[in-house]
A = this chain, B = another copy of it.
Amino acid sequence: MRRASPSRSPAEGSIGLVEPRIAHFEEPFELQCRETLPGFDLVYETYGELDEIRGNAVLVCHALSGDHHAAGYHSPEDAKPGWWDTCIGPGKPIDTTKFFVVSLNNLGGCNGSTGPRTVDPDIGEPYGERFPTVTVKDWVKSQAMLADVLGISRFAAVIGGSLGGMQALQWAIDFPDRIAHAVVIAAAAKLSAQNIAFNEIARQAIQADPEFHEGRYHQANAIPRKGLMLARMVGHVTYLSDDSMGDRFGRELKSGDIGSAQDVQFQVESYLHYQGTSFSERFDANTYLLMTRALDYFDPALEFEGDLVRVLAGTQAKFLVLSFLSDWRFSPARSDEIVDALIEARKDVVSAKIDAPHGHDSFLLPNERYFDVLGGYLDAVARGGSST
């Protein structure tokens, strides 16, 4: 199986220029938390063509800080393509010559879909901290409504990494007849105490920032930059493996004289500052809180007394479950829990552990075996159509 190498420019193996669209939903939308939104928008992009029988649609679900712009470029001047451009495009694992790919910004996001930055029609100012809690289940429900708008009655596959993988799993549970394949990458059936603890540190960092103003920073004309920077730093360090950070930065010094031990700065520190600062310029703090809470709450087995086998018993999708050996935040053992429960529930599941060095971030990065397994699986899906 020959696969195009990761694209370097819009011209090479890229879907090229893409344009976001907005779907308006005017009906009241009841959330799992029992609050109701008077309506909402979802911003989304599509790549490739929907076939005649509307059987080749693939939904890509984003993780904590992702959005709808997964592939291609918004303008020829863009410095970077979408966040999963290495994986989505003509000849790539999620092959746009075969699939009609749908990618959206989730409800509660900060890149165009209804979220804390949206003006609450009732009071004429942004929802901010009053935006209701959203869950993975809510997202999946809203994604099914988007599918209706696009005329997609059943996805050939729902695909996601990390929090995105949790959405793929929830799809299989909540809409068993609307999903042929669930591709669950670097995810878990629920977070561990350590995962929750890291999320809580990130939330505390944001909330402790005086510029947060208890979530009303918009009204105060402020941005909790330092809190967001810290939150991103925590995420960054825990999403990378120790080895990959070592390979990239080692203990190289950025400045200073270790003999005098004054003003020494290691490369890894300046990298983290840069990453954290740039994140704080683009991401909304209230959305960050919402997204990490959605991660924490995710536990589809909860209403089945924690029995994952029972909750998966009702699924009809076939599953591909992928994990990465160097990922210590969502380790292969967590994926094994899903695989074992699927086997016990007598479901059709293929799984692989990929030897990639980049920790949890591996799910975002090109890797030959990863792309071969994912691309090979999806090739078979494309050949079989949505009834596979």
Which A residues form the contact surface with B (CB < 8 A)? 32-34, 133, 135, 190-194, 196-198, 200-201, 204-205, 208-210, 226-227, 229-230, 233-234, 236-237, 240-242, 245-246, 248-251, 258-262, 264, 266-269, 272, 293, 296-297, 299, 302, 328
Contact (Cβ within 8 A) B230 A204: yes
Contact (Cβ within 8 A) B32 A237: no
A-B contact pairs, 24 of them (CB 8 A): A32-B259, A33-B262, A133-B260, A133-B261, A135-B261, A192-B242, A192-B245, A193-B250, A193-B267, A194-B237, A194-B241, A194-B242, A197-B237, A200-B269, A201-B233, A201-B234, A204-B229, A204-B233, A208-B226, A208-B227, A208-B229, A258-B297, A258-B299, A328-B328
Q: With A191-B251, A192-B246, A233-B204 in contact, do A197 and B258 touch (Cβ < 8 Å)?
A: no
> Which residues of chain B are near A328, meaning CB under 8 Å?
242, 328
Copy count, this protein chain: 2
Q: How far is the CB of A104 from chain B (nearest CB, A)?
A: 21
Give CA–CA (A196, B271) in the complex, Å: 12
Q: Which of B250, B251, B302 is the one whose CB lies under 8 Å from A258? A: B302
Closest to A276 in B: B204
Q: Which of B194, B268, B293 is the one whose CB lies under 8 Å from A246? A: B194
Q: Which of B34, B233, B248 is the one whose CB lies under 8 Å from A260? A: B34
Contact (Cβ within 8 A) A230 B201: yes
Closest 10 CB pairs of A and B: A208-B226, A193-B245, A133-B261, A194-B242, A193-B249, A33-B261, A193-B268, A197-B237, A200-B269, A194-B245
Closest to A191 in B: B251
> Which residues of chain B are near A133, meaning CB under 8 Å?
260-262
Give CA–CA (A290, B293) in the complex, Å: 34
Contact (Cβ within 8 A) B246 A193: yes
> Which residues of chain B are near A227, meaning CB under 8 Å?
208
Give CA–CA (A296, B251) in the complex, Å: 9
* A197-B236, A197-B245, A197-B272 given; 16 more Cβ-contact pairs under 8 Å: A32-B261, A133-B262, A192-B245, A194-B246, A196-B266, A197-B233, A197-B269, A200-B266, A200-B268, A200-B269, A200-B272, A204-B226, A204-B233, A208-B209, A208-B230, A258-B302
Q: Which of B196, B200, B210 is the one whose CB lies under 8 Å from A210? A: B210
